[in-house]
Amino acid sequence: MIRKIFGGILLATSLLTAVSVSWAQQPRSGGALRVGIQSEPRSLDPLLVITDGATGHVVSNIFNTLVRYDEKMQIVPDLATSWRIEDDGRAVDFFLRKGVKFHDGTDFDAAAVKFAFDRILDPANSSPYRTFFKPVEQVVVINPSTVRVVLSQPWPGFFYQLLYVGGMGIPSPTAVKALGNAGFARKPVGTGPFKFADWASGDRIVLTKNTSYYRPNMPYLDRLEFKVIPDSTALTTSLRTGQLDLVRDIPSQLLPLLDKEPSLVPSVKNAYSFDWLALNAAKPPFNDVRVRQAINMAIDRDALAVAVYGKGARGSTAQIASANQFHHPRKLPTFTYNPERAKKLLAEAGQANLKFTLVSSTVKPQLGQEATVIQAQLARIGVTVTHQVMEHQAWLANVLRAKNFEASTVAGTGGPEPNSYVMFWTKDNPVNFVSLNNAELFELVPKAQGIIKDAERKKAYHRIQELGAQEASWMALMEVPSNAVMSSKIKGYVHLPYNVSYFDEVWLTQ
């Protein structure tokens, strides 16, 4: 009898355990998630304002885009359920999801998509993304659920461009017209999983659940709070004391500190971003290509990467990141550490005792650290480097705009689209601040953007990287790893190594 009861209890407990296990796997609705961001967005209008690191994580939850990324960074449907590309590559028809509503209750349709494109392309709106969308000739509404984008040239990178930093979110035309650009920037209305609720400037941005979101049962969270914490000590302390649940891309030297916390789960991935070395080809000493090549060969990029970003970080081998499919498979010569060859090149150029000034902006501390390491590495071949730290605004004015510099470390973001790495290598581009001048590159860079066949396109980008490496004026130093540190109660968060976070699938275990 006792055995029977015992057996019964055992069976009941194991059943209960089984139930609770499957219970734990089932996404649970409810709860609030607090995300720490290191800079305050200046606007939540995804079309009008250049989105810094943090803004993308916020706007990608208020707005939907035509397409979105899956966990492997492949493009999958979002507001467009499918699409058809014309054979000549000069038009794309998007077939739109039906029955989707904006947060203000108005219907999402083809006219809204056209409105979003036209807003970017209208010069009066001064969208920093206008130059990126240049190949878009016009957008035509075919019917309420079909929209056609006409392109001036075939543009295989188009879909990636729709997903630039925060993504080309589709805003409610009614809300934009009612609020104006400035008003909409502080009170955005989209179709996304969360509605904008409140923005206490300098403090937090609050989003609440969109109960009529198009994905069934989603989002799971009731509330999403983005807290602005610029100081990294304050940020990590808040994470460790449980005041925050998730933080993206904290300075990598702080990761070991957080590894020890049992309640936190870190994730580190190879990202698309690089830190770069810019050498001004318009001015001595770097107007001599041999000197530029020599400096690059005298830098031990792997050692530099580890010194600045910690164990596991890698020096770059070409100008397109290894996460991108157009990355050059070979380690290009000027990316290869070769101090002997560097010395020889400098001697040939009559610059055996080269002295120059390397500036770094204060936009992120790593740029200064890189300059210090480069200074030490170059001293080994007899080159004297003066390191000058420049406040970021002064850097933008002196280096980027006035081109008044010899050498600089630079932070840059790339993406899955290869053109983002080489886009300023075009003739008369004002952002070509290193004054790169190479006829073949000027021809090839715009052409590569329009090649439809993958193999041919790959070939073109490989050639571009080879030419760029020979020019050696704008050279990637190392890949900047992306990280996410989150509380162990978070489930369903996919760490995309890019400035985007989709919180519709995220839920909390407690």
Partner 1 sequence: MRVASAGATLLVVAAIVFFVMRFVPGDPVLNWLGTSYEKADYDRLRALYGLDLPLLQQFLIWFSNLLQGDLGYSVLTQLSVSEELWRRLPATLELIVLALAVALPLGIGSGIWAAWRYGKPADHAVLTATLLGISLPEFFVGALLMLALALQWRVFPATGFEPFAWSTEHFAHMALPALALGLPRAAVICRLMRGSLLEVFGRPYVRASLAKGLSRKATLFAHAVRNALIPVVTVIGLQIGYLVAGAVVVEKLFVIPGVGAYGLNAVTARDYPSVQGFILVVAAIFLIANLIVDLLYLWLDPRIRTGAQGAGR
33, β-bridge pairs: 224
Structural tokens at position 363: 């936009």
Q: Does 435 bind partner 1 (CB under 8 A)?
A: no
Is there a contact between 219 and 504 (Cβ–Cβ < 8 Å)?
A: yes
Nearer to partner 1, 279 or 332 (CB): 279
Residue pair 179/81 in contact by the 8 Å Cβ criterion: no
CA distance 472 to 465: 10
**Which residues does residue 268 pair with via DSSP β-bridges, in sequence order?**
483
Handedness of CA 392, 396, 400, 406 (dihedral sign): negative
Q: What's the closest the beta carbon of residue 311 comes to partner 1, in angstroms?
A: 25
As given in the structure block, the two tokens for residue 116 are 């979003």
**Cβ neighbours around 347 below 10 Å, total:** 12
- Long-range Cβ pairs for the range 311-315 (8 Å, 24+): 312/268, 312/481, 313/252, 313/478, 313/479, 313/481, 314/478, 314/479, 315/477, 315/478
Q: Cα–Cα distance between 323 and 46 in angstroms, integer? A: 25
423 binds partner 1 (CB under 8 A): yes
Binding residues with partner 1: total (CB under 8 A): 44
Would you say 210 or 408 has its CB closer to partner 1? 408
Q: How far apart are the first and last CA of the chain?
A: 39
Helical (H) or strand (E) element with 474? strand 474-479
Note whether 128 binds partner 1 by CB under 8 A: yes
Query: Of these, 142, 197, 397, 452, which contacts partner 1 (CB under 8 A)?
Result: 397
DSSP state of 155: -
Give the DSSP letter string of 415-428.
-SSTHHHHTT-STT
What is the C-alpha to C-alpha distance for residues 87 and 108, in angstroms, rounded to an integer? 28
Tell me: does residue 201 bind partner 1 (CB under 8 A).
yes
400 contributes a contact to partner 1 by CB under 8 A: yes
Q: In sequence order, which residues have a C-beta less than 8 Å from that of residue 412 and are 6 or more positions away?
A: 273, 274, 275, 276
Cα–Cα distance measured from residue 112 to residue 101, given in angstroms and rounded to the nearest whole number: 11
* CA proximity to 212, closest of 111, 113, 107: 107
Measured from the CB atom, the residue of 96 and 436 that comes closer to partner 1 is 436
Contact call for residue 228 and partner 1 (CB under 8 A): yes
Q: Where does residue 62 rank: exposed (0-12), middle (13-18), buried (19+ CB within 10 A)?
A: buried
What single letter denotes the amino acid at residue 396? L
Query: Looking at 355, 430, 447, 454, which residue binds partner 1 (CB under 8 A)?
Result: 430
Judged by CB under 8 A, the residue of 57, 103, 195, 227 near partner 1 is 227
Q: Candidates 26, 211, 217, 241: give the one binding partner 1 (CB under 8 A).
A: 241
Within 13 A of 427's CA, how many CA atoms are on the CB side?
8
Beta carbons within 10 angstroms of residue 389's beta carbon: 15
Query: Which residues, 31 to 60, sit near partner 1 by CB under 8 A?
Result: 40, 42-43, 49-50
Which C-beta is closer to partner 1: that of 185 or that of 496? 185
Closest CB to partner 1 among residues 234, 452: 234
Query: Among 240, 314, 463, 491, which residue interacts with partner 1 (rule: CB under 8 A)?
Result: 240
Q: Residue 487 Cβ, how far from partner 1 at the closest point, in Å? A: 15
Smaller CB distance to partner 1: residue 94 or 276? 276
Q: Sketch the per residue contact string, 130 through 159, with partner 1: x for CB under 8 A, - otherwise.
A: xxx---------------------------
Q: What is the Cα–Cα distance from 251 to 277, expressed in whole angstroms?
A: 20
Q: CA–CA separation, 288 vs 393, rounded Å?
A: 29
In whole angstroms, how close is the CB of 377 to partner 1 at the nearest point?
A: 26
* Binding segment (CB under 8 A) for partner 1, from list 100-108, 148-156, 234-242, 469-477: 234-242
Residue 212 lies near partner 1 (rule: CB under 8 A)? no
* 396 lines the binding site for partner 1 (CB under 8 A): yes
Question: In Å, how far from its chain's centre is CA 506?
Answer: 21
Binders in 332-351 for partner 1, by CB under 8 A: none
Q: Identify whether 123 is preceded by a cis peptide bond (ω within 30 of 0).
A: no
Closest CB to partner 1 among residues 157, 285 = 157
- Pick 82 or 131: Cβ nearer partner 1: 131
CB closer to partner 1 out of 296 and 361: 361
* Closest approach of partner 1 to the CB of residue 168, in Å: 16
Region binding partner 1 by CB under 8 A among candidate stretches 125-133, 331-339, 345-353, 457-465: 125-133
The CB-of-360 to partner 1 minimum distance in angstroms stands at 15
**CB of 226: closest distance to partner 1 in angstroms?**
12
Tell me: does residue 231 bind partner 1 (CB under 8 A): yes
> Which residue's CB is nearer to partner 1, number 115 or number 129?
129
Among 16, 19, 24, 182, which residue interacts with partner 1 (rule: CB under 8 A)?
Answer: 182
233 binds partner 1 (CB under 8 A): yes
178 binds partner 1, rule: CB under 8 A: no
Q: Locate tokens 């190949």: which residue? A: 135
Any contact of residue 203 with partner 1 (CB under 8 A)? yes
Secondary structure letter of residue 133 according to DSSP: G
Q: Which of 145, 237, 267, 426 binds partner 1 (CB under 8 A)?
A: 237
Q: Which of 197, 234, 347, 379 binds partner 1 (CB under 8 A)?
A: 234
Place of tokens 């807290």: 227
> Which residues contact partner 1 (rule: CB under 8 A)?
40, 42-43, 49-50, 123, 126, 128, 130-132, 182, 185-186, 200-203, 227-231, 233-234, 237-238, 240-241, 243, 391-394, 396-398, 400-401, 412, 423-424, 430-431
